[in-house]
Amino acid sequence: MNSSIEHIDDKARREFSRYGRTVVHRGELLRHPVYTRILHWSVAITFILSLLSGFAIYSPWLYRWLTPLFGGGAMTRFLHPWFGLAFNIFFFFQFLNWFAPMHWTNADSRWMRRLKAYATNRQKVESEDTGFFNGGQKIYFWAIVVSAILFLITGIPLWFDDVVPRWLVAVSYVLHDIAALVMLGGFILHIYEGTAAQPGTFRSMTDGTVTKEWAWTHHPAWYEEVTGRDAREDYEAARDEHEDARGE
């Protein structure tokens, strides 16, 4: 199954690269091809629309502020399941696209044990076994997979609440809202990690590229895989150069 998924994804990546461009300058590496970027932003837009329309339905206070965005209360209720369905479809393709690099490895378990040092920014460079995605990114991905499935199986009874038993609607409400809260927490952390916490990350989802320095800092094993160079040696050379330039 794995190789047939890879085959479909390779074809999609090639097709999409014909319509959009990724320019890789000297000193940079290709991180996310056009296909991945289009999927990522389609997932993000449909997720935000689902979240805002969902909150409007959920809370009377937010209802007043948010429903005008979608053309009123009735329209918000009508649109929310469609936004959710679109989110699930786009994320399904992203799931196939990232299925292989999101496999959990021993390096990810070791990464989890260093979580405190990561969160407090105590380490300047990631440990050398950190690959294309780190353990935290993989947990976020798998949390979305579980939440997306939960959204779908609880969203259908809520959509057709006049034909399903009351108890099923009640249970679906609770599970749907728990999934939404987990996703909201993950989303806030994700934006922080993808922008302010790690400068140079955001451009990987716009231009598709990152600097080599970013790669050896945050994903050394991936850097070694694509460049064939030693990440620690390159880090130390850059640090010495920097210190020489400052006259230390």
* Interface with ligand HEM (CB under 6 A): 31, 40, 43-44, 47, 133, 137, 140-141, 144, 187, 190-191, 194-195, 201-202, 204-205
Query: Which CB, 37 or 67, lies closer to ligand HEM?
Result: 37
Q: How many CB atoms sit inside 10 A of residue 37's CB?
A: 19
Q: What minimum distance in Å lies between the beta carbon of 233 and ligand HEM?
A: 23
**CB neighbour burial string for 4-23, b if at least 16 within 10 angstroms, e if fewer:** eeeeebeebeeebeeeeeee
Q: Name the residue nearer to ligand HEM (CB basis): 70 or 222.
A: 222
Residue 32: burial class (beta carbons within 10 Å; 0-12, 13-18, 19+): buried
CB of 212 vs ligand HEM, minimal distance in Å: 14
User: What is the DSSP code (8-state) at residue 25?
Assistant: -
Q: Which two tokens stand for residue 188?
A: 């806030």
Are the CB atoms for 28 and 209 separated by under 8 Å?
yes
Least CB distance to ligand HEM at residue 119 (A): 15
Closer by beta carbon to ligand HEM, 51 or else 66: 51
Q: Tell the smallest beta-carbon distance from residue 168 to ligand HEM (Å).
A: 26
Closest CB to ligand HEM among 77 and 190?
A: 190
Residue 94's closest CA among 22, 16, 171?
16
CB of 169 to ligand HEM, least distance (A): 25
Q: By C-beta, is 207 or 234 nearer to ligand HEM?
A: 207
Neighbours of 84 (CB within 10 A): 24
